[in-house]
């Protein structure tokens, strides 16, 4: 079981408060993603849960037992590091078996578990190699293998894919998601990439400067962001924000409209503009439209749109998907 509860947890380094008092509940079997920009405290939060950092105040409970003062090894968690942190002088087999050896498990049982993990992760042919002889993706899998052999209560991932190239990243994303489906163990995953968060998470925790901005399923965050920060962070390309008179018409300080919720026509829409850069991706076209008196708006047009630089176009927002925010940046419902 892997239920993790944080209550009033804080962390300060010297005079700097990295995590102000924070409450969070993670249910058993959930895939939770901590997402936020660099330096928002998401990795620190993960390390607090792992026990690699001591909390300044507050309580951490794992499965209902207080774990605040437990050393990392006794919390029953396994962690995959950004640098993988494989032991360079040990073979893949010994790397994966290391936690079992430390637990003084019977060697035959160790071997059985290592082989099972290697099979799951397609590492069987590489068991006698050293980490230096493996590719990035394979090292990543060894790091995951070292985590799964212990059969932990929960897995902690600290930006595990950020050292991989784009194609491999998509692959590993799928593999980790599949691993979660088959193991059904709680996983906590830290990333700054909102695409990873959206595609993998059951529950996303959006962090900014140590504060939880919003917690919810990916689609909840997409449909009803609680504030400007979440609205801007979730979704790609970014949501367009419009302030001033245009927003006042809708009774808000700021309105937000996603690029995919803007209809484009030659004329007759709400806003007239001129096409700046057009990005043709094949499946979609992103147009950057300059509207007088406003920041440029990004528009997503499905398929291969025939618009070119300099064309005059007219945009109409889909009012059902219009987001309204007050002057403090909070969503108006």
Site residues, other proteins (CB under 8 A): 50, 52, 71-73, 77-79, 81-83, 85-90, 98-99, 102-103, 146, 150
Distance CA 98, CA 235 (A): 40
CB 232 to other proteins: min, Å: 32
Residue owning tokens 């993670």? 26
Determine what percent of the chain falls in helix, strand and coil, rounding each to the nearest 5: 30, 35, 35
274, 312 contact by CB (below 8 A)? yes
The stretches of 149-165 forming alpha helices (DSSP H) are none
Element (H, E) at 295: none
Task: Of 212, 180, 235, give the one whose Cα is nearest residue 42.
Answer: 212
Distance CA 315, CA 305 (A): 14
CB 313 to other proteins: min, Å: 51
CB 102 to other proteins: min, Å: 4
**Cβ distance to other proteins smaller for residue 101 or 309:** 101
Task: Of 286, 287, 284, 282, give the one whose Cα is nearest residue 310.
Answer: 287
CB 135 to other proteins: min, Å: 18
**Cβ distance to other proteins smaller for residue 18 or 230:** 18
CB 263 to other proteins: min, Å: 49
**Cβ distance to other proteins smaller for residue 52 or 247:** 52
Distance CA 240, CA 237 (A): 9
Give the pair of three-digit tokens for residue 289. Answer: 């439209």
CB 251 to other proteins: min, Å: 51
**Cβ distance to other proteins smaller for residue 74 or 321:** 74
**Cβ distance to other proteins smaller for residue 81 or 286:** 81
**Cβ distance to other proteins smaller for residue 50 or 168:** 50
Beta strands in 36-172 (DSSP E): 57-62, 65-66, 77-80, 154-158
**Cβ distance to other proteins smaller for residue 103 or 330:** 103
The dihedrals phi and psi of 302, each to the nearest 5 degrees, come to -65, 145
186, 198 contact by CB (below 8 A)? no
CB 262 to other proteins: min, Å: 45
């Amino acid at each position: 079981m892997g239920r993790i509860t944080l209550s009033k947890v804080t962390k300060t380094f010297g005079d700097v408060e990295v995590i102000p008092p924070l409450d969070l509940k993670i249910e058993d079997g959930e895939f939770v993603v901590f997402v936020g920009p660099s330096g928002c405290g998401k990795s620190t939060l993960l390390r607090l849960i792992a026990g690699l950092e001591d909390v300044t105040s507050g309580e951490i409970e794992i499965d209902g037992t207080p774990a605040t003062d437990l050393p990392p090894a006794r919390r029953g968690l396994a962690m995959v590091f950004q640098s993988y942190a494989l032991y360079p002088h040990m073979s893949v087999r010994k790397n994966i078996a290391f936690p079992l050896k430390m637990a003084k498990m019977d060697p035959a049982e160790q071997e059985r578990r290592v082989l099972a993990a290697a099979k799951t992760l397609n590492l069987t042919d590489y068991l006698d190699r050293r980490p230096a002889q493996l590719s990035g993706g394979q090292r990543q899998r060894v790091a995951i293998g070292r985590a799964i052999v212990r059969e932990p209560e929960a897995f902690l991932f600290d930006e595990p894919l950020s050292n991989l190239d784009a194609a491999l990243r998509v692959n590993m994303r799928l593999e980790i998601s599949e691993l979660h489906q088959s193991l059904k163990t709680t996983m906590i995953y830290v990333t700054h990439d909102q695409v990873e968060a959206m595609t993998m998470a059951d529950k996303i925790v959006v962090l900014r400067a140590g504060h939880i901005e919003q917690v919810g399923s990916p689609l909840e965050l997409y449909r009803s962001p609680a504030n400007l920060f979440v609205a801007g962070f979730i979704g790609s390309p970014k949501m367009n924000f419009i302030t001033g008179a245009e927003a006042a018409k809708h009774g808000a300080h700021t309105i937000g409209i996603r690029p995919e919720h803007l209809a484009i026509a030659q004329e007759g829409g709400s806003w007239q503009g001129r096409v700046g850069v057009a990005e043709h991706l094949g499946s979609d076209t992103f147009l950057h439209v300059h509207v007088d008196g406003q920041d440029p708006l990004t528009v997503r047009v499905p398929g291969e749109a025939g618009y070119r630089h300099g064309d005059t176009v007219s945009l109409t927002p889909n009012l059902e998907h219009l987001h309204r925010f007050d002057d403090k940046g909070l969503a108006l419902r």
